[in-house]
Amino acid sequence: MFKYVKQLTSLVAMVAVLFAFTTETMAAKKSKTLKNTMKKGFVRCGVSQGLPGFSNADAAGNWTGVDVDVCRAVAAAVLGDANKVKFTPLSAKERFTALTSGEIDILSRNTTWTLSRDADLGVTFVGVNFYDGQGFMVRKDSGITSTSQFKNGISACTNIGTTTELNMRDFFNSKGISYEPVAFEKADEVVAAYDSGRCDTYTTDKSGLAAQRTKMTNPDDHLVLPETISKEPLGPVVRQGDAVWEDIVRWSLNVMIEAEEYGISSLNADAMKVSENPAVKRLVGTEGELGSYLGLDQDWSLRIIKQVGNYGESYKRNIADTGILPDRGPNNIWTKGGLLYTPPAR
């Protein structure tokens, strides 16, 4: 009898020790994706096949863009180096399958957040890094300056497999206009077909229109109409079922946005360590233990800000300075009249 009691106590002790050990690194233990990422030494990120401003590779194979920066932020937070990212270019058709099958761990590819995608595809949207809306481009010499001038029989070029096709139908149906949808698999062919005169209008997200306009034979011959026919909140996506990884990606993005809100940039991040404001101090890692909740170290957010920059820096570098959309519009911090509002990092 005594023997059993002794055994039982040691068992309880063992379990207790084990349990204590578990709670300490529970976040890291629970997240398979985080563990795998640390083991591999790089973040696997799915991006577009080339959309200037969002995710685009230069001749040397360096990826830039606001979507790319989300993955870089995660790499900086998890691995300590924003360059430790492996980018996988994906078509609109492949993107969710690549994510759910485990080929990539973050999908950051100008992807619209919708209920059906969020609930039905086995993926989770973690936030919005660009507020977009679908628009139309027409040739200037058509004299069209508003979608109200569209007439029956108009032909519209677009991409397949996107919310664009659905919005387009909703729009033309609600206006009672008959139209001819010409849907291509790749954006380059859409541009070529519209440019050659096959279609009267080209419709996709407005940021996409602005970026693709630069690829036309004569960009100045084309005009993006002022109307926006849909809400297109674009944001990073992760696989369903790994809540910790989901939190890491969500808060990596939130840190970039909140850093801009509090005026912390890659240039002044170190100086901000002595700030009086506790919200600022939490972001640069001198107050609180936010990193440990995510299974990360204390400097995770500081590294994001120092290596990638805040959201405003990323926008300026990728979208404003490249001439795609110099006006930030809704993609500004809420305190400056935009829509970017994140829950507090505390």
Judged by CB under 8 A, the number of residues near another protein is 51
Q: Phi-psi region for residue 99, left (φ > 0), alpha (ψ -120 to 50) or beta?
A: alpha
Q: How is residue 333 annotated by DSSP? A: B
To another protein, the closest distance from the beta carbon of 269 in angstroms equals 37
Distance (Å, whole) CA 52 – CA 246: 26
To another protein, the closest distance from the beta carbon of 29 in angstroms equals 18
Tell me: does residue 198 bind another protein (CB under 8 A).
Answer: yes
Among residues 50, 133, 181, 288, the one that binds another protein under rule CB under 8 A: 181
Which of 164, 163, 138, 141 is CA-nearest to residue 225?
A: 138
Distance (Å, whole) CA 125 – CA 133: 18
Q: How is residue 318 annotated by DSSP? A: I
Tell me: does residue 44 bind another protein (CB under 8 A).
Answer: no
- CB nearer another protein, residue 113 or residue 300: 113
To another protein, the closest distance from the beta carbon of 201 in angstroms equals 9
Site for another protein in 252-271 (CB under 8 A): none
Which of 230, 212, 93, 209 is CA-nearest to residue 160?
A: 93
- CB nearer another protein, residue 1 or residue 116: 116
Write the DSSP assignment of 141-156 as a string of letters.
GG---SGGG--TTEEE
To another protein, the closest distance from the beta carbon of 166 in angstroms equals 5
For residue 262, the tally of other CB atoms under 10 A from its CB is 19
Distance (Å, whole) CA 210 – CA 51: 10
Tell me: does residue 183 bind another protein (CB under 8 A).
Answer: yes
What Å distances lie between residue 210 and 6, 96, 196, 205, 226, CA to CA? 74, 25, 18, 9, 12
Question: Under DSSP, is residue 223 helix (H, G, I), strand (E, B) or coil?
Answer: strand
The token pair that represents 161 in the structure block: 């497999």
Longest Cα separation, the chain: 97
Among residues 185, 270, 289, 321, the one that binds another protein under rule CB under 8 A: 185
Tell me: does residue 222 bind another protein (CB under 8 A).
Answer: no
To another protein, the closest distance from the beta carbon of 169 in angstroms equals 5
End-to-end CA distance of the chain: 52
Backbone angles phi, psi at 138, to 5 degrees: -135, 165
- CB nearer another protein, residue 64 or residue 158: 158
Among residues 31, 111, 162, 318, the one that binds another protein under rule CB under 8 A: 162
Among residues 63, 87, 96, 125, the one that binds another protein under rule CB under 8 A: 96
String of contacts with another protein for each residue 99-138, x by CB under 8 A: -xx--------------xx--xxx---------------x
Tell me: does residue 175 bind another protein (CB under 8 A).
Answer: no
Amino acid identity, residue 97?
A: T
String of contacts with another protein for each residue 230-249, x by CB under 8 A: ---------xxx--------
Tell me: does residue 92 bind another protein (CB under 8 A).
Answer: yes
String of contacts with another protein for each residue 52-91, x by CB under 8 A: ----------------------------------------
Query: Is residue 46 within a helix (H) or strand (E), and if so which, with residue range?
Result: strand 43-47
Residues lying near another protein in the complex (CB under 8 A): 92-93, 96-97, 100-101, 116-117, 120-122, 138-139, 141-144, 149-155, 157, 160-162, 165-166, 168-169, 173, 179-186, 189, 192-193, 196-198, 200, 239-241
